[in-house]
Structure 1
Amino acid sequence: MMLEFHWLDARREPGTIFVRLIAGFHLIYGTQDNVFNHERFPWMQH
Structure 2
Amino acid sequence: MSARAADPRDPHRIRLLHGGQEFFPALVVAMDRARSEVRLETYIFD
TM-score normalised to the size of structure 1? 0.33
TM-score normalised to the size of structure 2? 0.33
Bigger radius of gyration:
1
